[in-house]
Amino acid sequence: MTLFRSTLYATVAIYAAFSLPANADEKLDLANETAKYGYAQGFLIGQRFKQKLKGDQVDLKSFAQGLTDALTAQSQMTVTQIEDTMKKGPVHLRAEKEKKMKANADYLAENSKKDGIKTTASGLQYSILKSGPADGKSPTASDTVVVHYAGTLVDGTKFDSSYDRGQPATFGVGQVIPGWTEILKLMKPGDKWAVVIPSELGYGKRGAGGKIGPDAVLLFDVELISIK
């Protein structure tokens, strides 16, 4: 989680720092109107942060010190160290993420060994289930296509299917996840391919909806019906 990615978070963090006592054991004089106002501001802002900080299991003492150091320009970490730390994400989730990424790599490596599997330079994998006319034209990123598809996770969970809806989907080739854009530009009308999309070419660490979690490898049967 990039805590200070948005201007809103940065602004809230600065206000929160102003509301913190210099010493954790210092008693506030809440009979003082200035102190009362500062406390009320800090409390309300803290409520907004509460669930996010709890979810990331942030150490509040270190968090408060980081805010103070930012305001006084006395950082105890370099900018690079801070960026690297934030990229790694919450500590309690790192082992889980590393395990997931290893499982993804193992799955892709094993799948690449299967007969008929082709792997592109980006790591996208596909096999041809059916071919359309050889003289067909592949779409470009600016084209709109009509496609039938079914999507599942590696454990077999189906998360989407135009077949189940009984109607193909229509969308711009350049308006979908990178893996879809890449594969569509390789296909021709009438082609039906089985596609394996690595997480970085799919929804990445953010996931999508309730069924596609972070860093999910996506499996699709993709049938390019026509180019509009």
* Catalytic-residue membership of 220: yes
Do 112 and 119 contact (CB within 8 A), yes or no? yes
* Catalytic-residue membership of 203: yes
Do 195 and 124 contact (CB within 8 A), yes or no? yes
In this structure, the answer to whether residues 203 and 120 fall within a common structural domain is yes
* Catalytic-residue membership of 177: yes
- Residue 144 forms part of a structural domain: yes
* Catalytic-residue membership of 159: yes
Which residue range(s) make up the domain with 82? Answer: 7-89
pTM: 0.65
Do 96 and 150 contact (CB within 8 A), yes or no? no
Catalytic residue, chosen from 45, 63, 160, 215, is 160
Q: What is the pLDDT of residues 43-54, one digit of tens each?
A: 787 777 777 777
205 dihedral zone (left: phi>0; alpha: psi -120 to 50; beta): alpha
Catalytic residue, chosen from 63, 183, 203, 212, is 203
Q: Which of 65, 89, 113 is the last residue of a domain?
A: 89
- State how beta strands 125-130 and 158-161 pair: unpaired
Catalytic residue, chosen from 149, 191, 212, 215, is 149
- Residue 2 forms part of a structural domain: no
* Catalytic-residue membership of 69: no
The single-letter code of the amino acid at 126 is Y
Number of domains within the chain: 2
* Catalytic-residue membership of 183: no
Q: Which of 30, 60, 89 is the last residue of a domain?
A: 89
In this structure, the answer to whether residues 111 and 219 fall within a common structural domain is yes
Q: What is the pLDDT of residues 48-96, one digit of tens each?
A: 777 777 777 777 778 778 777 876 788 888 888 888 877 777 777 778 8
Q: Which of 45, 68, 89 is the last residue of a domain?
A: 89
Residue 14 to residues 45, 56, 77, 151, 179, Cα–Cα distance (Å): 10, 19, 18, 44, 39
In this structure, the answer to whether residues 24 and 67 fall within a common structural domain is yes
